[in-house]
Structure 1
Amino acid sequence: MARFTVTQVVHAPATSVWAVMVDWRRHGDWAPLTAVRVTTSRPDGVGAEFVARTGIGWLAFDDPMTVELWRPPGGNDPGDEPGRCEVVKRGRVVLGRAGFSVVPLDSGRCRVDWDEDVTVTPHRVTRFAGPLLSFAGRVGFGATLRAMAGDVERQSR
Protein backbone atom coordinates (compact mmCIF):
# COMPACT_ATOMS: atom_id res chain seq x y z
CA MET A 1 0.00 0.00 0.00
CA ALA A 2 1.03 3.60 -0.57
CA ARG A 3 0.01 5.70 2.42
CA PHE A 4 0.36 9.43 2.93
CA THR A 5 -1.17 12.40 4.73
CA VAL A 6 -1.01 16.05 3.70
CA THR A 7 -2.05 18.99 5.89
CA GLN A 8 -2.94 22.54 4.85
CA VAL A 9 -4.09 25.46 6.99
CA VAL A 10 -6.68 27.57 5.17
CA HIS A 11 -7.54 31.14 6.13
CA ALA A 12 -11.26 30.60 5.68
CA PRO A 13 -14.06 29.12 7.82
CA ALA A 14 -14.35 25.34 8.04
CA THR A 15 -17.88 25.27 6.62
CA SER A 16 -16.78 27.27 3.55
CA VAL A 17 -13.79 25.01 2.96
CA TRP A 18 -15.96 21.91 3.36
CA ALA A 19 -18.39 23.22 0.72
CA VAL A 20 -15.55 23.74 -1.74
CA MET A 21 -13.87 20.40 -0.96
CA VAL A 22 -17.06 18.41 -1.62
CA ASP A 23 -17.75 20.20 -4.89
CA TRP A 24 -16.11 17.27 -6.70
CA ARG A 25 -15.97 18.96 -10.11
CA ARG A 26 -13.79 21.73 -8.67
CA HIS A 27 -10.99 19.30 -7.82
CA GLY A 28 -10.04 19.48 -11.48
CA ASP A 29 -9.35 23.20 -10.99
CA TRP A 30 -6.55 22.39 -8.55
CA ALA A 31 -5.22 18.98 -9.63
CA PRO A 32 -3.21 19.14 -12.87
CA LEU A 33 -4.45 17.10 -15.82
CA THR A 34 -7.59 16.05 -13.93
CA ALA A 35 -11.28 16.40 -14.74
CA VAL A 36 -13.98 15.17 -12.37
CA ARG A 37 -17.53 14.20 -13.22
CA VAL A 38 -20.30 13.15 -10.83
CA THR A 39 -21.99 9.90 -11.89
CA THR A 40 -24.92 9.80 -9.45
CA SER A 41 -28.00 12.01 -9.31
CA ARG A 42 -26.83 13.53 -6.02
CA PRO A 43 -23.24 14.74 -5.63
CA ASP A 44 -23.38 14.82 -1.83
CA GLY A 45 -23.74 12.35 1.00
CA VAL A 46 -23.01 8.67 1.46
CA GLY A 47 -23.40 6.81 -1.82
CA ALA A 48 -22.46 9.73 -4.07
CA GLU A 49 -20.18 8.58 -6.88
CA PHE A 50 -17.76 10.46 -9.08
CA VAL A 51 -14.87 9.74 -11.44
CA ALA A 52 -11.60 11.65 -11.63
CA ARG A 53 -9.95 11.26 -15.04
CA THR A 54 -6.26 12.04 -14.83
CA GLY A 55 -3.66 12.19 -17.59
CA ILE A 56 -3.41 12.98 -21.27
CA GLY A 57 -4.64 10.88 -24.18
CA TRP A 58 -3.86 7.19 -23.93
CA LEU A 59 -1.91 7.84 -20.70
CA ALA A 60 -5.10 8.91 -18.90
CA PHE A 61 -6.97 6.71 -16.46
CA ASP A 62 -10.27 6.82 -14.57
CA ASP A 63 -10.34 6.87 -10.77
CA PRO A 64 -13.96 6.05 -9.79
CA MET A 65 -14.89 6.75 -6.16
CA THR A 66 -17.87 6.25 -3.87
CA VAL A 67 -18.49 8.30 -0.72
CA GLU A 68 -18.66 6.04 2.35
CA LEU A 69 -18.54 8.63 5.15
CA TRP A 70 -20.06 12.12 5.06
CA ARG A 71 -19.93 14.25 8.20
CA PRO A 72 -19.85 18.03 7.60
CA PRO A 73 -18.12 20.21 10.21
CA GLY A 74 -20.23 21.15 13.22
CA GLY A 75 -19.31 24.83 12.90
CA ASN A 76 -16.43 27.24 12.47
CA ASP A 77 -15.17 27.66 16.03
CA PRO A 78 -12.32 25.78 17.70
CA GLY A 79 -13.81 22.83 19.52
CA ASP A 80 -16.65 22.41 17.00
CA GLU A 81 -16.84 18.93 15.51
CA PRO A 82 -14.48 18.53 12.52
CA GLY A 83 -15.90 17.49 9.17
CA ARG A 84 -14.85 14.17 7.66
CA CYS A 85 -15.41 12.65 4.22
CA GLU A 86 -14.10 9.25 3.12
CA VAL A 87 -14.26 7.59 -0.27
CA VAL A 88 -13.43 4.15 -1.55
CA LYS A 89 -11.45 4.06 -4.80
CA ARG A 90 -12.60 1.21 -7.01
CA GLY A 91 -10.83 1.68 -10.30
CA ARG A 92 -8.72 -0.57 -12.48
CA VAL A 93 -5.59 1.51 -11.78
CA VAL A 94 -6.07 2.88 -8.24
CA LEU A 95 -7.77 0.97 -5.42
CA GLY A 96 -8.07 1.78 -1.75
CA ARG A 97 -9.33 4.63 0.38
CA ALA A 98 -8.99 8.39 0.56
CA GLY A 99 -10.43 10.97 2.88
CA PHE A 100 -10.13 14.40 4.33
CA SER A 101 -10.96 16.16 7.56
CA VAL A 102 -11.76 19.87 7.93
CA VAL A 103 -10.87 21.00 11.45
CA PRO A 104 -12.08 24.42 12.69
CA LEU A 105 -9.33 26.65 14.12
CA ASP A 106 -9.29 30.10 15.69
CA SER A 107 -9.41 33.40 13.77
CA GLY A 108 -11.74 32.07 11.05
CA ARG A 109 -9.23 29.46 9.86
CA CYS A 110 -9.34 25.70 9.49
CA ARG A 111 -6.98 22.83 8.81
CA VAL A 112 -7.49 20.27 6.05
CA ASP A 113 -5.92 16.84 6.58
CA TRP A 114 -5.96 14.71 3.41
CA ASP A 115 -5.02 11.03 3.67
CA GLU A 116 -4.81 8.17 1.23
CA ASP A 117 -4.11 4.46 1.52
CA VAL A 118 -4.02 3.11 -2.03
CA THR A 119 -2.73 0.32 -4.21
CA VAL A 120 -1.77 0.89 -7.83
CA THR A 121 -2.16 -1.91 -10.37
CA PRO A 122 -0.36 -3.99 -11.16
CA HIS A 123 -0.05 -4.59 -7.39
CA ARG A 124 3.63 -5.44 -7.59
CA VAL A 125 4.24 -1.79 -8.57
CA THR A 126 2.90 -0.67 -5.19
CA ARG A 127 4.77 -3.41 -3.34
CA PHE A 128 8.11 -2.30 -4.76
CA ALA A 129 7.48 1.40 -5.31
CA GLY A 130 5.27 2.12 -2.27
CA PRO A 131 7.63 4.68 -0.70
CA LEU A 132 8.03 6.50 -4.03
CA LEU A 133 4.26 6.50 -4.62
CA SER A 134 3.71 7.83 -1.08
CA PHE A 135 6.23 10.62 -1.70
CA ALA A 136 4.62 11.48 -5.05
CA GLY A 137 1.20 11.53 -3.37
CA ARG A 138 2.41 13.91 -0.65
CA VAL A 139 3.97 16.23 -3.23
CA GLY A 140 1.01 16.12 -5.64
CA PHE A 141 -1.75 16.44 -3.08
CA GLY A 142 0.24 19.06 -1.18
CA ALA A 143 0.23 21.21 -4.32
CA THR A 144 -3.46 20.48 -4.88
CA LEU A 145 -4.37 21.54 -1.33
CA ARG A 146 -2.28 24.72 -1.63
CA ALA A 147 -4.12 25.60 -4.86
CA MET A 148 -7.49 24.89 -3.19
CA ALA A 149 -6.52 27.04 -0.18
CA GLY A 150 -5.51 29.95 -2.40
CA ASP A 151 -8.78 29.69 -4.32
CA VAL A 152 -10.93 29.61 -1.16
CA GLU A 153 -8.96 32.39 0.54
CA ARG A 154 -9.43 34.68 -2.49
CA GLN A 155 -13.19 33.97 -2.42
CA SER A 156 -13.38 34.71 1.33
CA ARG A 157 -11.92 38.20 1.07
Structure 2
Amino acid sequence: MALFTVARDVRAPASVAWNVLVDWPRHGDWVPLTTVRTTTPRPDGVGARFVARTGVGPLAFDDPMTVVVWEPPAGDEPGAAPGRCEVAKSGRVVHGRALFTVTPLPGRHCRVAWTEDVTVSPRRLTRHIDPVVGFAGRLAFATTLRAFTRAAESARRPG
Protein backbone atom coordinates (compact mmCIF):
# COMPACT_ATOMS: atom_id res chain seq x y z
CA MET A 1 0.00 0.00 0.00
CA ALA A 2 1.34 3.43 -0.92
CA LEU A 3 0.52 6.34 1.37
CA PHE A 4 1.63 9.89 0.60
CA THR A 5 0.51 13.49 1.04
CA VAL A 6 1.33 16.58 -1.00
CA ALA A 7 0.32 20.09 0.05
CA ARG A 8 0.54 23.62 -1.34
CA ASP A 9 -0.42 27.07 -0.21
CA VAL A 10 -2.80 28.68 -2.70
CA ARG A 11 -3.33 32.42 -3.19
CA ALA A 12 -7.10 32.07 -3.34
CA PRO A 13 -9.86 31.84 -0.73
CA ALA A 14 -10.68 28.36 0.58
CA SER A 15 -14.15 28.48 -0.99
CA VAL A 16 -12.68 29.17 -4.44
CA ALA A 17 -10.03 26.45 -4.13
CA TRP A 18 -12.70 24.01 -2.91
CA ASN A 19 -14.96 24.71 -5.89
CA VAL A 20 -12.10 24.14 -8.34
CA LEU A 21 -10.92 21.01 -6.50
CA VAL A 22 -14.29 19.26 -6.43
CA ASP A 23 -15.17 20.08 -10.04
CA TRP A 24 -14.36 16.48 -10.97
CA PRO A 25 -14.31 16.84 -14.79
CA ARG A 26 -11.86 19.73 -14.37
CA HIS A 27 -9.27 17.35 -12.84
CA GLY A 28 -8.40 16.42 -16.41
CA ASP A 29 -7.11 20.00 -16.84
CA TRP A 30 -4.29 19.39 -14.36
CA VAL A 31 -3.88 15.62 -13.98
CA PRO A 32 -1.70 14.47 -16.88
CA LEU A 33 -3.18 11.97 -19.36
CA THR A 34 -6.50 11.93 -17.48
CA THR A 35 -10.13 12.62 -18.29
CA VAL A 36 -12.86 12.56 -15.66
CA ARG A 37 -16.59 12.05 -16.03
CA THR A 38 -19.26 12.02 -13.37
CA THR A 39 -21.59 9.02 -13.31
CA THR A 40 -24.28 10.31 -10.95
CA PRO A 41 -26.83 13.07 -11.58
CA ARG A 42 -25.29 15.18 -8.79
CA PRO A 43 -21.52 15.59 -8.95
CA ASP A 44 -21.25 16.80 -5.35
CA GLY A 45 -21.93 15.44 -1.90
CA VAL A 46 -21.67 12.02 -0.31
CA GLY A 47 -22.55 9.33 -2.83
CA ALA A 48 -21.43 11.26 -5.91
CA ARG A 49 -19.51 9.01 -8.26
CA PHE A 50 -17.03 9.72 -11.02
CA VAL A 51 -14.48 7.86 -13.12
CA ALA A 52 -10.98 9.05 -13.95
CA ARG A 53 -9.53 7.46 -17.08
CA THR A 54 -5.75 7.68 -17.04
CA GLY A 55 -3.24 6.64 -19.66
CA VAL A 56 -2.97 6.33 -23.41
CA GLY A 57 -4.66 3.79 -25.67
CA PRO A 58 -4.39 0.20 -24.43
CA LEU A 59 -2.32 1.35 -21.44
CA ALA A 60 -5.22 3.40 -20.01
CA PHE A 61 -7.25 2.30 -17.01
CA ASP A 62 -10.40 3.46 -15.22
CA ASP A 63 -10.26 4.70 -11.64
CA PRO A 64 -13.87 4.75 -10.37
CA MET A 65 -14.44 6.76 -7.19
CA THR A 66 -17.28 7.48 -4.78
CA VAL A 67 -17.41 10.47 -2.43
CA VAL A 68 -17.66 9.16 1.15
CA VAL A 69 -16.99 12.42 3.07
CA TRP A 70 -18.14 15.86 1.92
CA GLU A 71 -17.52 18.84 4.21
CA PRO A 72 -17.02 22.16 2.37
CA PRO A 73 -14.93 24.80 4.17
CA ALA A 74 -16.96 26.69 6.77
CA GLY A 75 -15.56 30.01 5.53
CA ASP A 76 -12.55 31.77 4.07
CA GLU A 77 -11.15 33.25 7.28
CA PRO A 78 -8.42 31.63 9.40
CA GLY A 79 -9.97 29.49 12.10
CA ALA A 80 -12.95 28.46 9.95
CA ALA A 81 -13.33 24.70 9.72
CA PRO A 82 -11.40 23.33 6.76
CA GLY A 83 -13.05 21.64 3.84
CA ARG A 84 -12.66 17.88 3.67
CA CYS A 85 -13.54 15.49 0.89
CA GLU A 86 -12.70 11.79 0.89
CA VAL A 87 -13.22 9.42 -2.00
CA ALA A 88 -13.12 5.64 -2.08
CA LYS A 89 -11.35 4.20 -5.13
CA SER A 90 -12.82 0.92 -6.34
CA GLY A 91 -11.02 0.19 -9.59
CA ARG A 92 -9.42 -2.99 -10.82
CA VAL A 93 -5.99 -1.32 -10.97
CA VAL A 94 -6.09 1.30 -8.18
CA HIS A 95 -8.08 0.95 -4.97
CA GLY A 96 -7.98 2.68 -1.63
CA ARG A 97 -8.76 6.26 -0.60
CA ALA A 98 -7.95 9.83 -1.50
CA LEU A 99 -8.48 12.71 0.92
CA PHE A 100 -8.51 16.40 0.03
CA THR A 101 -8.42 19.16 2.66
CA VAL A 102 -8.70 22.91 2.11
CA THR A 103 -7.67 24.98 5.12
CA PRO A 104 -8.28 28.76 5.23
CA LEU A 105 -5.17 30.89 5.86
CA PRO A 106 -4.68 34.61 6.50
CA GLY A 107 -4.92 37.00 3.54
CA ARG A 108 -7.75 35.04 1.85
CA HIS A 109 -5.31 32.25 1.01
CA CYS A 110 -5.60 28.54 1.82
CA ARG A 111 -3.58 25.36 2.08
CA VAL A 112 -4.66 22.38 -0.03
CA ALA A 113 -3.47 18.92 0.96
CA TRP A 114 -4.01 15.81 -1.17
CA THR A 115 -3.46 12.41 0.47
CA GLU A 116 -3.51 9.12 -1.41
CA ASP A 117 -3.63 5.76 0.37
CA VAL A 118 -3.76 3.33 -2.52
CA THR A 119 -2.96 -0.19 -3.59
CA VAL A 120 -2.01 -0.98 -7.16
CA SER A 121 -3.03 -4.34 -8.64
CA PRO A 122 -2.18 -7.04 -9.40
CA ARG A 123 -1.00 -7.12 -5.79
CA ARG A 124 1.12 -10.25 -6.22
CA LEU A 125 3.30 -8.26 -8.65
CA THR A 126 3.19 -4.81 -7.05
CA ARG A 127 3.47 -5.55 -3.30
CA HIS A 128 7.27 -5.27 -3.41
CA ILE A 129 7.31 -1.87 -5.10
CA ASP A 130 5.16 0.12 -2.65
CA PRO A 131 8.04 2.50 -1.82
CA VAL A 132 8.53 3.18 -5.54
CA VAL A 133 4.78 3.73 -6.03
CA GLY A 134 4.76 6.13 -3.07
CA PHE A 135 7.77 8.07 -4.36
CA ALA A 136 6.38 8.25 -7.92
CA GLY A 137 2.96 9.21 -6.55
CA ARG A 138 4.40 12.06 -4.49
CA LEU A 139 6.24 13.41 -7.54
CA ALA A 140 3.23 13.06 -9.86
CA PHE A 141 0.76 14.57 -7.41
CA ALA A 142 3.13 17.42 -6.54
CA THR A 143 3.09 18.31 -10.25
CA THR A 144 -0.69 17.91 -10.32
CA LEU A 145 -1.11 20.14 -7.26
CA ARG A 146 1.08 22.85 -8.85
CA ALA A 147 -1.19 22.81 -11.93
CA PHE A 148 -4.27 22.85 -9.66
CA THR A 149 -2.83 25.86 -7.81
CA ARG A 150 -2.51 27.82 -11.04
CA ALA A 151 -6.14 26.97 -11.91
CA ALA A 152 -7.44 27.93 -8.46
CA GLU A 153 -5.48 31.18 -8.39
CA SER A 154 -6.77 32.17 -11.83
CA ALA A 155 -10.34 31.46 -10.66
CA ARG A 156 -9.89 33.79 -7.69
CA ARG A 157 -12.78 36.14 -7.07
CA PRO A 158 -11.97 39.84 -6.82
CA GLY A 159 -11.85 41.35 -3.34
When normalised by structure 1's length, the TM-score is: 0.98
Q: Secondary structure at the match of 2:107?
A: coil
Task: Note the C-alpha offset of 1:93.
Answer: 0.3
Matched residue count: 157
Q: 2:149 corresponds to which letter in structure 1?
A: A
1:136 to 2:123 alignment: no
Q: 2:123 corresponds to which letter in structure 1?
A: H
Task: Note the C-alpha offset of 1:149.
Answer: 0.6
Q: Secondary structure at the match of 2:134?
A: helix
1:27 to 2:27 alignment: yes
Q: 2:48 corresponds to which letter in structure 1?
A: A
Q: Secondary structure at the match of 1:107?
A: helix
Per the alignment, residue 84 of structure 1 pairs with 84
Q: 1:114 corresponds to which letter in structure 2?
A: W
Which stretches in structure 2 are left out of the alignment for 5+ residues? Answer: none
Give the Cα separation in 2 of the matches to 1:62 and 1:120. Answer: 12
Give the Cα separation in 2 of the matches to 1:35 and 1:150. Answer: 18
| Residues 63 and 91 in structure 2, CA contact (< 8 A), matched pair in contact too | yes
Give the Cα separation in 1 of the matches to 2:155 and 2:92. Answer: 36
Give the Cα separation in 2 of the matches to 1:144 and 1:26. Answer: 12
Identical aligned residues as a percent: 62
Matches within 5 A, 1:30-41: 30-41=30-41
| Residues 86 and 99 in structure 2, CA contact (< 8 A), matched pair in contact too | yes
| Residues 2 and 126 in structure 1, CA contact (< 8 A), matched pair in contact too | no
- Residue by residue, what CA displacement relative to the aligned partner does 1:62-108 show, whole Å, maximum 9, x if unpaired? 00000000000000011000000000000000010111100000011
Which stretches in structure 1 are left out of the alignment for 5+ residues? Answer: none
Matches within 5 A, 1:61-76: 61-76=61-76
Runs of 4+ aligned residues of structure 1 deviating over 4 Å after TM superposition are none
Give the Cα separation in 1 of the matches to 2:75 and 2:35. Answer: 30
Matches within 5 A, 1:1-157: 1-156=1-156
When normalised by structure 2's length, the TM-score is: 0.96
- Residue by residue, what CA displacement relative to the aligned partner does 1:106-151 show, whole Å, maximum 9, x if unpaired? 0110000100111000113442010110011111111111101111
Q: Secondary structure at the match of 1:139?
A: helix
Q: 2:151 corresponds to which letter in structure 1?
A: D
Give the Cα separation in 2 of the matches to 1:116 and 1:147. Answer: 17
